[in-house]
Amino acid sequence: MPDRIADIWGRRTPYGAEARWPVRVDQYLEDGVAEADVEWVRSACVLCSNGCGMDIAVHDGRIAGVRGRATDRVNHGRLGPKGLYGWQANNSPDRLTEPLIRETGGRLRPASWDEAMSLVAERSREVLAERGPLGMGFYNTGQLFLEDYYTLSLLVRAGIGTPHLDANTRLCTATADFALKETFGSDGDPGSVTDIDCCDTIFTIGHNIAETQTVLWSRILDRLHGPDRPRLVVVDPRRTAVAREADVHLPIRGGTNLALLNGIQHELIENGWVDRAFVDRNTVGFDRLTQTVAEYPPERAADICGVPADDIRAAARVIGGARRLVSTCLQGVYQSHQATASACQVNNINLLRAMIGRPGRAVFQMNGQPTAQNTRETGANGDLAGMRNWQNPEHVAELARIWNVDPLRVPAWAPPTHVMRMMRYAEEGSIRFLWIIGTNPAVSLPELARIRSILRQKRLFVVVSDAFRTETTEFADVVLPAAMWGEKTGTYTNHDRTVHLSERAVDPPGAARPDMEIFLDYARRLELTDKDGAPLIKWRTPEECFEAFKQMTRGRPCDYSGLSYDRLRGDNSGIQWPCTDQTPAGTERLYADHEFNTATDYCEDYGHDLLTGAAHERKDHSAMAPAGRAILKAAHYLPAHEPPTDDYPFWYTTGRTVYHWHTRTKTGRVRRLDAAAPEMWVEMSPADAERLDLAEGDLVRVESPRGRLKARVRIGGGRDGVVFAPFHYGYWDMPNGDGDGGSGNGDGNGGRDRARAANELTITDWDPVSKQPLVKTAAVSVTKVTEGGAQAR
């Protein structure tokens, strides 16, 4: 097999429209382990939202490799570089293997589970007694399994009774979730990955597919390099691998997505590239949309976005001429200015052209994380379990009935609290207990000096569950060692609603436990009960939890009622929800009948004003009466909150490299992946570099009004005036420790000379609808520190 660090997408297997994507099985086994000596255990990859089917190779009780599953509907055997090599983190010698408790002196010392959990329960009871449920906060991840999430959701919503439960999916897919709810009435991506196989046009905005979902990009590349090549329109300020394949590339100015999308819709409507019969029959809001986008002729959009008007026309012409259009977007939209408003316009484009619910016709509001979809379905984030509407008393009552609790027990007086608001409550001192599960906010949230100063407060009791010590565990009062993927059984769902089962292949190291077991222990210690005094949580095993979950989803958009562990172990690898007794094979596309989930009694959300986030109420939704029609939402462009200035002349944007995941807790421990991208860098355009007299490898200081970092410069082909920084790098693996982590010198910027995390510079600001932090919208300055050779390591 080729070196998949250099050859990221692997060998091409070109195919034409409506052909089957050829199988190519990617496999990697540890040196010295023969295929004959391993046992294969069924699983799926957890290193991006594509969720490729894979088998885990077990040798001598350890994970010794992986292979893509040839029969899987998502990947046809392929794996990306992170999937192939990332599992090695499981075997890392520095896994957390026992609970830790912070001593009075500040050091973390080993403890037994009983001692650690007693302390967590005792502190919880104190806070509940002193401050009530609103003093308790829980912040989890997009990395657990469905069963972990659902247990947590029930525990927090009906047991603790607080709305303060969110996940780091707030940073990745909150906008996808909200854009789908605004337009289609409920969450759930309508399309299927097989739509790539038969589309004739792909429109992608703010989505570096080549690095975020490498196997999905392989599929697209195989179409692009096969017969009947689809046309490709790409919007990205950087010249990414995706942009290099484009027919039309629009490297727009940061924060101007909405103006561009309005400009494109202006052209679609102006030129009659609209399916009026579909729009009239199946949507509401066309007149308002027409009125709004009328103000964005290509010249005006060009002026705002900083690209030629003719290029906008060319993009619109390609989209307008498509017969089978797949549109996708991701963080370039979700983490940027006017996020939900822009994401809704991508939905609009497909709706204007009736490109929905049929083969090759789909819009993907993409996910980032492998199990993000499950936080949304279980209600372990900003949603209510089973895609129920927190503003609909019937939905809340139904959930309370299923959970056997008083409806008043379920916090439904406002939307579930988003993480930035939870941090604010911790900052002002009204949240005093914060449990952080499988995520690393001390590196991943914006404006890190502020986040550190919040987590450092003595009055805040911090519990962290993780597989490794991280920058965040340095602020913890109690650290709980968690089992990882491969060490527990459970299910998860990818971005085209494909559900996979992942079996426990090996035991967790030392005393580490699956998250679900930790939650069950906590619920027992707090003696959480239902309204009849029986234990609130009725299950003990992942399978029992899955059975309870699927009953809870019956009749809702994410209906799992036809699924079971046995069915997921069957020959057809990967089954898409909704899956019911009537549709046992699953459902390839939502909305095939063009009937959307917008009936007032059924919908998951009544919608919002896109500019302010003002929540519509039931009466507003009834008055609009979409009743199964999709909602075309319109919004005007507004300038971003922190435009470049004389002092901070560059637009700062953060993003990913293909070799790393999140804050590198896993990928930084895998030799090949780490070696492929070992240190922080920033990317600038050739013209900007020349102006500042910078050569590749020079060390620069990048500053925003909130902080600074130092990094080496890479010169890339992006738009002038843009500084790109990867968000992966923190401090845990720097020499002498943690930068400014908890055991640093405590001034909030202690590792100043070594500060390198991208979020030192980002702004505390979030989208008014999805509440997704806007980490692609800051202004920064760049100063040369030393020439490349001088300080090379």
Partner 1 sequence: MKLDNAIKGVLDAEAALAKRLLAVGERHAADHDVYHLGHTLARQAADHVTRLTPFAERYHMAPPAPPHAGDSHGILETLRLKRSQLMGRAESAGMLLLRELRETYLLAQATEIAWTILQQAALAVRDGELLDVISTCHEQTETCAKWLRTRIKETAPQALAAG
Q: How far is the CB of 131 from partner 1 (least distance, A)?
A: 5
Amino acid at 139: Y
Query: Could you tell me the smallest distance in angstroms from the CB atom of residue 450 to partner 1?
Result: 9
Q: Under 8 Å CB-to-CB from 238, ≥6 apart: which residues?
A: 208, 251, 683, 716, 717, 718, 719, 722, 724
The smaller minimum CB distance to partner 1, of residues 137 and 626, is found at 137
CB of 382 to partner 1, least distance (A): 12
Residue 77 or 415 having the CB closest to partner 1: 415
- Window contacting partner 1 (CB under 8 A); options: 573-581, 605-613, 743-751, 782-790: 605-613
How far apart are the C-alpha atoms of 779 and 468, rounded to whole Å? 33
Closest separation in Å from C-beta 188 to partner 1: 25
543 binds partner 1 (CB under 8 A): no
415 is a site residue for partner 1 (CB under 8 A): yes
Q: Does 736 bind partner 1 (CB under 8 A)?
A: no
Under rule CB under 8 A, which residues in 685-714 are in contact with partner 1? none
Minimum distance, C-beta of residue 609 to partner 1, in the bound complex (Å): 5
Q: Which of 14, 306, 535, 613 binds partner 1 (CB under 8 A)?
A: 613
408 in contact with partner 1 (CB under 8 A): no
Nearer to partner 1, 616 or 752 (CB): 616
Residues 750-779 that bind partner 1 (CB under 8 A): 764-766, 768
Indicate the Cα dihedral angle 643, 174, 216, 505, nearest 10°: 130
Token pair in block for residue 786: 């030393």
Q: Does 421 bind partner 1 (CB under 8 A)?
A: yes
Q: How far is the CB of 328 from partner 1 (least distance, A)?
A: 28
Q: CB 474: neighbour CB atoms within 10 A?
A: 27
| Closest by CA position to 339, among listed 783, 775, 666 | 775
Beta-carbon count within 10 A of 185 CB:
29
- Residue 611 makes contact with partner 1 by CB under 8 A: yes
Residue type, 723: V
| Shortest distance (Å) from residue 484 CB to partner 1 | 34
Give the nearest distance from C-beta 160 to partner 1 in angstroms.
13
8-state DSSP, 9: T
By beta-carbon proximity to partner 1, the closer residue of 79 and 431 is 431
- Residue 468's contacts (CB-CB under 8 Å, 6 or more residues apart) are 92, 94, 95, 96, 665, 669, 732
Instruction: Tell me if 126 contacts partner 1 by CB under 8 A.
Output: no
The label of the residue with tokens 């019937």 reads: 394
Q: How far is the CB of 785 from partner 1 (least distance, A)?
A: 30
**CB-nearer residue toward partner 1: 615 or 624:** 615
DSSP states along 566-634: HHHTSSSB-EESP--SSSTT--SSTTTTS--S--TTT-S---B-TTT-PBP-HHHHHHH--TT-EE---
| CA separation for the pair 429, 412 (Å, rounded) | 23
Residue identified by tokens 């192939």 is 84
Mention every residue, 6+ apart, whose C-beta is less than 8 A from residue 30. 59, 64, 65
Contact between 27 and partner 1 per CB under 8 A:
no
* Residue 428 binding partner 1, by CB under 8 A: yes
How many C-beta neighbours within 10 Å does residue 601 have?
Answer: 12
End-to-end CA distance of the chain: 32
Structure tokens at 723: 């500084």
- Compute the residue count for the chain: 793
- Name the segment binding partner 1 (CB under 8 A); options: 72-80, 219-227, 417-425, 676-684: 417-425
Token code pair at residue 664: 């590198």
SS3 for 112-178, per residue? CHHHHHHHHHHHHHHHHHHHCHHHEEEEECCCCCHHHHHHHHHHHHHHHCCCCEEECHHHHCHHHHH
User: Interface mask (CB under 8 A) for partner 1, residues 366-405, using x and -?
Assistant: ----------------------------------------
Q: Residue 745, exposed/middle/buried by CB under 10 A (0-12, 13-18, 19+)?
A: exposed
Q: For residues 614 and 695, which CB has a smaller minimum distance to partner 1 in the complex?
A: 614
Binding region for partner 1 (CB under 8 A) out of 128-136, 199-207, 360-368, 566-574 = 128-136
Point out which span in 67-75, 249-257, 422-430, 700-708 binds partner 1 (CB under 8 A): 422-430
Query: What are the residues facing 599 on neighbouring strands?
Result: none
What are the φ/ψ torsions at residue 270 (nearest 5 degrees)?
-60, -40
- The answer to whether residue 271 forms part of the interface with partner 1 (CB under 8 A) is no
Position among 12, 300, 424, 784 found at the interface with partner 1 (CB under 8 A): 424
The answer for 757, left when phi > 0, alpha when psi is -120 to 50, beta otherwise, is: beta
Using CB under 8 A, which residues numbered 179 to 238 contact partner 1?
none
Write each residue from 502 to 541 as x if it is in contact with partner 1 (CB under 8 A), else as -, in one continuous string: ----------------------------------------
Q: Which of 245, 247, 262 is nearest to 321 (CA)?
A: 247
DSSP code of 700?
E
Report the nearest approach of partner 1 to the CB of residue 255 (Å): 13
- What angle do the packed helices 146-154 and 515-525 form, to 10 degrees? 20
* Closest separation in Å from C-beta 344 to partner 1: 16
Amino acid making up residue 493 = T
Q: For the window 467-506, what string marks contact with partner 1 as x by the rule CB under 8 A?
A: ----------------------------------------
* Residues 641-660, interacting with partner 1 (CB under 8 A): 641
Minimum distance from CB of 161 to partner 1 (Å)?
11
Kindly tell me which residue out of 227, 308, 429, 570 binds partner 1, with binding defined by CB under 8 A: 429
3-state secondary structure of 61: coil
- Return the residue of 12, 59, 123, 131 that touches partner 1, per CB under 8 A: 131
Say how far apart CA 224 and CA 202 lie, in whole Å.
10
Strands 778-786 and 699-704: antiparallel
Nearest-angstrom CA–CA distance, 278 and 727: 42
Q: Which residue of 104, 582, 612, 736 would you call a contact of partner 1, by CB under 8 A?
A: 612
Q: Identify the residue among 425, 539, 651, 732 touching partner 1 (CB under 8 A).
A: 425
Query: In angstroms, what is the minimal distance from the CB of 340 to partner 1?
Result: 14
Asked whether position 615 contacts partner 1 by CB under 8 A, the answer is yes
CB of 134 to partner 1, least distance (A): 4
Counting residues that bind partner 1 (by CB under 8 A) gives 31
For partner 1, which is the closer residue by CB, 3 or 413?
413
Contacts of 306 (CB under 8 A, 6+ apart): 252, 253, 256, 719
Q: Which stretch binds partner 1 (CB under 8 A): 31-39, 378-386, 609-617, 753-761?
A: 609-617
Selected from 98, 398, 543, 609, the binder of partner 1 by CB under 8 A is 609
Give which of 554, 286, 494 is closest to 371, Cα–Cα.
494
Region from 42-50, 414-422, 648-656, 705-713 binding partner 1, contact rule CB under 8 A:
414-422
Among residues 60, 93, 277, 413, the one that binds partner 1 under rule CB under 8 A? 413
Query: Is residue 21 a contact residue for partner 1 (CB under 8 A)?
Result: no
CB of 425 to partner 1, least distance (A): 6
Q: Under the criterion CB under 8 A, does residue 135 sit at the interface with partner 1? A: yes
- How many beta carbons lie within 10 A of that of residue 176, not counting itself? 32
Residues near partner 1 (CB under 8 A) are 130-132, 134-135, 163, 413-415, 417, 420-421, 424-425, 427-431, 609, 611-615, 638, 641, 764-766, 768
